[in-house]
Structure 1
Amino acid sequence: MADQQWRDVQTCFDTCALTGAAAFFAGIEDAVIVGNGPLWCYFYALRFLEHACPDIASRFFCSQVDNNAVIYGTEEALLETLQRVKETTRPAVVFIESSCSVSLIGDDLDAIARQAAMPCPVICLESGGLNGGFQEGYQAAAKAYFSAIPLQQGLQRKAGTVNLLGATHGHYNAVSDIREIKRLLGVAGYQVLACPGAGTSQAGIALMAQAELNIVLHAELGQETARLLEEQYGIPYVAELPPYGVEGSWDWLRSIGQVSGRSEQDFTAVRKERDLLERQLRNATQDMERIWGEMWFNRVLVAAPSSTALAVAQAVRREWVDTANLTTIAQDGLKHLRVPAGIGRVIDGRKERQAIEACLNELTAGLLLASSNERAWLYRKGAQAVACQNIALPVYDEIRLSHRPFMGLRGAVHLVERLWERYIAVCQQC
């Protein structure tokens, strides 16, 4: 949503491509990141990443270029920074990314990196925000990594092993969600070998060719990488919407099973857990409905990164809430994604700003599943009887330190709890 006076200033959910690229390498445990640019770009990305990666400051450096560097080049500042990296860290890989203003200079980052004689592979990328947002930066960084550092070949495939692609700690509640995804896959009999971009070392990534399948968690982040790895190493992949809700989680696993040659009988342990949770949810829901009535909202608005938004909207329609009007905002667009049938209107968050504002203005007696930005819009216009649940960044009105997922079977239970709490709070206000 743009400011009414300064149309080139926006307060929106998306971060710059520099932050998205840094997020991919922040998820490689022994990688060091060098932001080649001014301090304000560095601190913006650092602040974004340190919520999920509290130690990121120890392996995220900045060349701190000044105004003269924008004219005469960044070689001196970057070489000094790389020397500091050599003296204070032992990285397996160094990632150098230039910010918007520095990218305009045209410095040969690869040549500067060779001059620095780093003791490990160095990957360079122009990743200023002028090249797109978080999604584009993450994709570019992943492509640069797998193009520069090949996987080990000649390794035997291990039955029941998978890799997670398109996962990132740069999404809201992602650390808890990825933990639940790994647990759920483990119950289903799969072993996750690597999760590049979300908590795997370079040595772990190197062994990815052993996996029998790549699972793309967020298609807008990982599908291009999955295609690249399929072409180069013959690893098949599956890219479905992420697993939200009990039914959504079960369907997600079944899709994985179909590609990996498993039947529903192979998921007996998961089915038992699913059946138990469904009984638990049904009993708890019936108790609440006797007191508060059926959970119903006149309007439901879902706004989040595209795969999350579509998956949550599908769970809302299939499992969670009855509503007369469901609208979904894919904040980063709809590239790579197929919109599921039956979820109502879907808005491209990058192209339809006026439609987004209209939806927020119309949201009364409704449910908002979004970020603090959309919630702040409702607060400013004095919207009444709206239940709000955060599912996307930025979040300014709650702190999350415990592990309570939104994805998977356990995440479904958690979100149902949250939705009933917010529905009851709205009922008490009426």
Structure 2
Amino acid sequence: MLQINIIRQDVARVKEKLAVKNFSGVELVDQIIALDDARKALQFELETLQSQVNSHSKTIGQLIAKGQKEEAENAKKIVANYKLQTGALNVKLAETEKLLQYELVKLPNLPSDKVPPGKTPEDNVVMREGGAKPHLPEQALPHWDLIKKYDIIDFETGAKITGSGFPLYKGQGARLQRALVQYFLDYNIAAGYTEYLPPFMVNEASAYGTGQLPDKEGQMYYMPADNFYMIPTSEVPLTNIYRDEIIKEENLPVKMTAYSPCFRREAGSFGKDVRGLNRLHQFEKVEIVQLAHPGKSYEMLEEMVAHVEKLLVSLELPYRILKLCGGDMGFTSALTYDFEVYSAAQERWLEVSSVSNFEAYQANRAKIRFKDQNGKNQLLHTLNGSSLALPRIVACLLENNQQQNHIALPEVLHAYFGSDKIA
């Protein structure tokens, strides 16, 4: 959530930044300023009345001490009237503050100055590419055919158990999932991230804290009986570990990693571009999250980008890194880099990771702060990234490494998988 003082400092700049994100409700900024003006006016009126109450209350005591009972009774009536007005003002102030917060959360995060302009994914900027695209034989198969050939993932039985988009991994497919998760976690831990195994359901306050609510309410699986949400990513519980907490500055950055299944409704998703593992309602992912000092968060962002890049290099997959344009960025992000790997059988790039700096946007919502050297509480910056999401990684490992009678696996996975190939 944007801080009201940041908005008021330069309203024109805020509107310009929102335009970079192609936010259509820029007029909301003026409504928020008007609500904040009303809040300030009510606060001033309330403080003035309270001052009058305090002054007359003091006078009552002096009048009683002097034996001026009639005057004291008149003063009491004035104080009682002031208190009635104060009560009504408190109610009105609370309503105005609630409405102000309700409107504030509708504003997306402001994009960094580093964000390129643009409206669609075609306007994203390719920062660099790595790895070599494989040359597949003419009879090469897409992953949805390969998983049937090697009997490693069963979409039909998954659909019978639950529904479309809930695959059943079995045999070597289940083992590959486990191998990838363990490798990704070990890789992150070696880089200084502390491993967590968080709850896979969160309450409303947690979903609000990281910005899933109210922006992505329709994409989350919701359990109304308990008011719980299935997590779309472990970013949500990891970040909320520190909700309403004050961290010592010397303990920054806080670096966390976790494996979790991820649940996303993906309403309206259909067609060949979401076939097979390309888009699922349940999938596995390993996440990295950092809580950083505001002065160092962009340094940490570049560190996280390099971290994910080295992970893809170790998997021997062709990849590219994109800097997202304003129109393709997420609601809460200030700057996002996307990682894509090349699917040789599908002949297209597939997103496998997003690494983002949210600056103080999430921290303001979740009230995550640090105490600076002057003893003052400050909002810190939050960052997160996929390291990595499994489905499309698996799709590309299968497609790009297919041989006549087996699928070769990158060397780094041999010990984790217990073999050098799927056969």
Task: Tell me the TM-score normalized by structure 2.
Answer: 0.24
Pair member with larger Rg: 2
Task: Tell me the TM-score normalized by structure 1.
Answer: 0.23
Q: Tell which has more relative contact order, 1 or 2 (C-alpha 8 A, sep 6+).
A: 2
